[in-house]
A = this chain, B = another copy of it.
Amino acid sequence: MFSKSCKYAIRAVLYLAIHSNAEHKLGVKEVAEALDVPGPFLAKLLQQLSRHHLISSTKGPNGGFYLSKANSNANLRGVVESIDGPEVFTSCILGLPVCSSNNPCPLHSRALIYRQGLLELVEDQTIKEVAKRVERQELKI
């Protein structure tokens, strides 16, 4: 469903939400090791998220990646859109050039339900809320 990159990105964001804040930033290496994900690759992803202002970062000693208040009050949709592109939520499930109710493909009407589930997945809770649940219920990332 999501690309591998996107899965890494979501997990990294949640890790940052739990373990970092403006006073305590994390290096790529720590995050990569915690998630068991290739470090240099994750670096690229975090840089991209940072460029799109979905996470925050500073250079230099004591620098690193972290989530600002604003970052963690957002939901995960932006993260997904930043990595996999916004089309994941709108494109035709059969790959036809446009998806529209005027010109639907054979699976269009049911695709809407599926897509609704997908949106709920990433939209109806903030990153902070997800992180809280992870801590309370000791979920794996």
Contacts and interface: CB of A to CB of B under 8 A. Distances in A.
Nearest to A112: B117
A138 to B, nearest CB: 10
Nearest to A119: B114
Contacts of A113: 117, 120-121
A1 B88 contact: yes
A104 to B, nearest CB: 6
B110 A134 contact: no
A106 B106 CA distance: 33
B130 A94 contact: no
B106 A114 contact: no
A118 interface: yes
Interface in A35-60: none
B134 A106 contact: yes
Interface string A109-141: 011011111101110100000100110000111
A105 B1 contact: no
A111 B139 CA distance: 15
Given A1-B1, A1-B93, A114-B114, 7 more contacts: A2-B95, A94-B141, A106-B130, A106-B139, A110-B117, A110-B121, A114-B118
